[in-house]
Structure 1
Amino acid sequence: MANEATSPDSIAVAERVRELMSRHGIGKRQQTTELCRILDLSFSQGHRKLRGNSPWTLSQIKKVAEAFGEPAAQLFGAQSLDPGMVGAIAQEAVFSIGAIDLACTAWVGAALEPGSRPEFIAFSKLGQWRVVRHDGALYQNGFEVHKIEIYPRRAETDKPLIAVVDDDASSADNLRDYLEQSGFGAAAFYGLTAFTEALQTQVFDGVVIDWLFGTQTSALAIRAVRGSENPDAPIFVLTGELLTGKASESEISEVIRNFDVACYEKPARMAILVADLSKRLNRI
């Protein structure tokens, strides 16, 4: 089981990761892409993690440090906070309290000296660090424990986040629900203004957007996606008005050419749309 950092820790780790990448010549606009490559994350998840809005596991911290050939301890910054932590190494562990096992991070120090009676000790069993309260029993290969951090169990939201934009709330909700059932995260927006405002603070891995919103088209919103922090997000335009003449075939063709979007007739065949989306996001 992997532990998760609390929010203040997540922010601190994110700041140190950004500083590390900058030292290694990774520009700000490339840092999210690089983190996604190292940790195999979706763009939206990497974006949240680099801003401290998503928890970091110990294994992720170690993986980033190893990718740049630097010690993981500097990303934790824990040893600098407490002089007594010098020499201790953060380890993913299981903290046993009676019959209950809790995922934790344990700062494991030196091997126990004969006669020592620390409150907690750590030992390795079958490749897993375990932490227990010292009960006076003799433990072979026992180590001092300087610090234990236990975090609430929360799901790591590592699903690609898809924006569904349609002024027909029922259609938007149905597609959002289908995407969620298919293993994606999804957010529904019922107008162009709500969506473009969300683009200022959120990053999406993909966008499914209707073409007509009253007398407006979604062309400017599509342009905004291509100018966002994730400009390569796949975009799918939906329209049911080509045959009626309300939607201009030439305007849609121009958007397809200029902004690399796909176009589907409404009502969209959801299974085909999701299969195409999965392929573009390398999920199949």
Structure 2
Amino acid sequence: MVTETSSSESLAVAERVRELMSRHGIGKRQQTAELCRILDLSFSQGHRKLRGNSPWTLAQIRRVADAFDEPALQLFDAKNADSDDTEGTAHDAVFKLGSVEIPCMAWVGAALDAGSRPDFIAQKVNNHWLVTKHEGVLLQAAFDVHKIEIQPRRADMEKPVIAVVDDDQASADNLHDYLERTGFTAIAFYHLDAFLEALQTQVFDAVVIDWLFGAHTSAGAIRAVRESDNPDAPVFVLTGELTTGKASESEISQVIRDYNVACFEKPARLAILVADLSKRLLRT
């Protein structure tokens, strides 16, 4: 059973999803955010998926179609579409094995007779489908289960992607490693030009950036983030030069007002920074 798309199929599905959203009045710049809302993805993951760079599961395709009240078949490649009614109807469900509960997609068929002895059964519990292994005698209404789809979690693809931009390589690497240990994917950049180049082809869920890079500030790079595909990404400015006078307090204050950024003095207390980062990502 095919449970997710190949790279070529991902491109085709992504194109169909973009067309579907356009038909429903979702503008190009809003489509990634809308997909993230529907599938509960980070912005970077939604961005990759909408451009066909990340595989689509059958469950994800169905959720998108359901969100716009359209048939899922139009988003599938014909060879992967489940058009056989004898296989039942796909539903989001929970697969319960002992004390373990696993989110799944279950193809639920007809109601079972009292004497039936299937391998698995589906039951509606509090308006949600619960799939269990059938043991003993049916005591309440249950339905046949034709197949169960369980998708492995791809943790790295689901983690928010954070850009760390600092010309002090030791500081950048230290923050990079801390973010990786606390549940994020981090990418370190040691030069403004390298970060600006990456911003042309990649989106970030958040940016942590030093203020001074030699004789230059990061104001232009922060403006570029606000003009990127993810303009609402949380931005944190780090500086250790306010007390020395090398960093201008008025310039940093202006950037905070103009671009809605947070500012932390170096050396940053990483636990506090990450807590603030997590809170802001949950709001976006």
Does the TM-score normalized on the shorter chain lie above 0.5?
yes
User: Partner of 1:208: helix, strand, or coil?
Assistant: strand
Give the equivalent residue in structure 2 for 1:100: none
Change (3 A) 1:17 1:217: same
CA deviations 1:129-148 (Å, max 9, x no partner) are 99xxxxxxxxxx797x9xxx
Q: Distance in 2 between matches of 1:60 and 1:77?
A: 14
Give the equivalent residue in structure 2 for 1:280: 280
Q: Distance in 1 between matches of 2:121 and 2:175?
A: 46
CA deviations 1:106-160 (Å, max 9, x no partner) are 999xxxxxxxxxxxxxx87234699xxxxxxxxxx797x9xxx999995561111
Give the equivalent residue in structure 2 for 1:256: 256
CA deviations 1:189-239 (Å, max 9, x no partner) are 011000000000000110000000011100000000000011111100000
Query: How many pairs align?
Result: 246
Q: Distance in 2 between matches of 1:235 and 1:15?
A: 31
2:134 matches 1:126: no
User: Partner of 1:229: helix, strand, or coil?
Assistant: coil
Q: Distance in 2 between matches of 1:168 and 1:53?
A: 32
Change (3 A) 1:65 1:86: closer
Q: Distance in 2 between matches of 1:210 and 1:47?
A: 26
2:42 matches 1:42: yes
Structure 2's unaligned 5+ residue stretches are 92-103, 109-117, 123-130, 134-143
User: Partner of 2:268: helix, strand, or coil?
Assistant: coil
Q: Distance in 2 between matches of 1:153 and 1:160?
A: 14
Distance apart, 1:166 and its partner CA: 0.3
Give the equivalent residue in structure 2 for 1:24: 24
Distance apart, 1:87 and its partner CA: 3.7
2:181 matches 1:207: no
Q: Matched residues, percent identical?
A: 71
Q: Is the 8 A contact 2:156 2:185 kept in 1?
A: no
Distance apart, 1:169 and its partner CA: 1.2
Give runs of aligned pairs for residues 191-206 of structure 1, distance below 5 A: 191-206=191-206
Change (3 A) 1:124 1:45: farther
Distance apart, 1:49 and its partner CA: 0.7
Distance apart, 1:77 and its partner CA: 2.5
Change (3 A) 1:124 1:33: farther
Q: Distance in 2 between matches of 1:56 and 1:7?
A: 9
Q: Distance in 1 between matches of 2:241 and 2:178?
A: 23
Give the alignment's Cα RMSD to 1 decimal: 3.4
For normalisation by structure 2, the TM-score amounts to 0.76
CA deviations 1:146-182 (Å, max 9, x no partner) are xxx9999955611111100001111111101111111
Give the equivalent residue in structure 2 for 1:60: 60
For normalisation by structure 1, the TM-score amounts to 0.76
